[in-house]
Structure 1
Amino acid sequence: MESITIKELEGVTPEYQDLLDKANRIDFSALAASNCLLPVGTDQEGVPLFLINAASLPSMDKMEEFLIYFIKTLEPVVVSNNYSLIYSHALLKPESTPDRNWLTNVYKILPRNFKKNLKTLYILHPSTWIKFLFMAMSPFLSEKVWNKVVYLDYIQEIPGVLDRNAILSKIPQETKDYDDKLLENPEITEKVVTSMDTLGKELLSVFGSSFNLFSSVDPSKWQSAFNGSNERSAYYDDK
């Protein structure tokens, strides 16, 4: 994969440059074969769409390699164009669940292009925790960021503005089977799968510790987090 000129990216950090340097020493063939990150056509406006299959993500000891693979794949696109992501959250394995420090560092490392040029983030099969997380943090997210998130509870909800055939051809069969079970038993959608619950708690901890708002990942034990807190965080206020 060819890399663009680094000066064309906004807000490049030394850590990001270090990841690019490591890319030249990594064999990405196993990641590519796993189908954890795939291009899946464009939307009706010609904006490229990429699919992240959580069920195919590597274990955390290989997650830095996935991050570099993600960067190298999207870098030529984000430098000057919009892009969208569809994140298939179902069947994420516990050993593939990043901790809060990893998630926070990734957000800091990525240049601004990756954030401001994201058109839409589709979350397929979202967990209850992820939905609640975005809801709880809405006072601190800019309206532009909030409007980029679209939840898709079922595969059939993938909008027609996307290339549905391309997406379906790349979604793992186990995820399709999971979706079939949801359709047969809609009440399952209200249950938090252990691995998905774990990721939600980790994400929640990231935000909670950043703002010192939440004393627990249990919403019933949260303090009145939003009283007197009308300021938005610039840290999460990307376009």
Structure 2
Amino acid sequence: MVMIDMADAVVDEEDQYERLLRRANVEDLTEVSGIGCLYQSGVDRQGRPVIVFLGKWFPANDLNLDKALLYLIHLMDPIVRGDYVIIYFHTMTLSRNYPSLRWLREVYNILPYKYKKNLKHFYIVHPTIWTKMMTWWFTTFMAPAIKEKVHNLPGMEYLFEIMSPDQLEVPAYVTEYDMTINGTNYYQPEHYLQNST
């Protein structure tokens, strides 16, 4: 009996995602796409698409989060059919940019298995103590399937082990901040990515 209920729950989740995908493909999402906080930026050295998310540009308190979810699905659905990488820039992000953990959990639960399975790495650039604590909590209790895929990086240059600099498009404030806190020539390629969680 429990097996049937769980199977029904999986079907319901798939139906919910398919409904959201249909909406994402017909609704006007310019309110969210125009912000520029989520986009594809080239490919990594293995040819996998790289998705960039700019925390500073995500107006969590002023944005229709339903539309934000639809835009995420619209952008990501064709990409997550294969392997992909996400880079989250926490650079100069303020508390008003943080979505609630409840909303993040809902989004994580709505997204089908292919999102989790095909995610190869999730890099957090310029993390803070808060970000590290929340990431640990989220990946330990809510999203253990991606825990080993999350890496905290203190600077942008660590990304260049995984992708060519000409494949990474970020706003000037990110590189300026990076140079301000790290200086120039700070990068020491000591396999940092393998030990960065």
Identity of matched residues, %? 28
Task: Give me the CA root mean square deviation.
Answer: 2.6
With structure 2 as the length reference, what TM-score do the two structures score? 0.74
Letter in 2 for 1:131: K
Using the alignment, how far apart are the partners of 2:139 and 2:98 within structure 1?
23
1:209-224 equivalent positions in 2, closer than 5 A: none
How far is 1:67 from its partner?
A: 1.8
- In the other structure, the counterpart of 1:180 is 179
1:1-239 equivalent positions in 2, closer than 5 A: 12-60=13-61, 61-79=63-81, 81-135=82-136, 145-167=146-168, 170-183=169-182
Secondary structure at 1:34's aligned position in 2?
coil
Using the alignment, how far apart are the partners of 2:30 and 2:56 within structure 1?
18
Using the alignment, how far apart are the partners of 1:134 and 1:102 within structure 2?
15
Flag the 1:179–1:23 CA change in 2: closer, same or farther, 3 A.
same
Using the alignment, how far apart are the partners of 1:166 and 1:159 within structure 2?
9
1:84-114 C-alpha deviation (Å, 9 max, x unpaired): 1001112224333211221111111111111
Tell whether the 8 Å contact from 2:116 to 2:146 is kept in structure 1 after alignment: no
Using the alignment, how far apart are the partners of 1:22 and 1:13 within structure 2?
14
Secondary structure at 2:17's aligned position in 1?
helix
Using the alignment, how far apart are the partners of 2:66 and 2:164 within structure 1?
29
Tell whether the 8 Å contact from 1:40 to 1:163 is kept in structure 2 after alignment: no
Tell whether the 8 Å contact from 1:88 to 1:125 is kept in structure 2 after alignment: yes
My pick for the range that moved more, 112-121 or 16-25, is 16-25
Using the alignment, how far apart are the partners of 2:55 and 2:73 within structure 1?
17
Using the alignment, how far apart are the partners of 2:91 and 2:115 within structure 1?
24
Letter in 2 for 1:40: S
Using the alignment, how far apart are the partners of 2:50 and 2:28 within structure 1?
24
Aligned residues: 171
Letter in 2 for 1:77: I
Using the alignment, how far apart are the partners of 1:36 and 1:177 within structure 2?
18
How far is 1:73 from its partner?
A: 1.1
Q: Any unmatched runs of 5+ in structure 1?
A: 1-9, 185-239
My pick for the range that moved more, 90-99 or 122-131, is 90-99
Secondary structure at 1:147's aligned position in 2?
helix
How far is 1:30 from its partner?
A: 4.2
Flag the 1:175–1:122 CA change in 2: closer, same or farther, 3 A.
same
Letter in 2 for 1:23: A
Tell whether the 8 Å contact from 1:90 to 1:124 is kept in structure 2 after alignment: yes
Using the alignment, how far apart are the partners of 2:15 and 2:94 within structure 1?
31
Using the alignment, how far apart are the partners of 2:154 and 2:182 within structure 1?
10
**Greater RCO between the two (CA within 8 Å, min separation 6)?**
1
Flag the 1:77–1:24 CA change in 2: closer, same or farther, 3 A.
closer
- In the other structure, the counterpart of 1:226 is none
Flag the 1:157–1:99 CA change in 2: closer, same or farther, 3 A.
same
Secondary structure at 2:160's aligned position in 1?
coil
With structure 1 as the length reference, what TM-score do the two structures score? 0.62
Using the alignment, how far apart are the partners of 1:121 and 1:176 within structure 2?
19
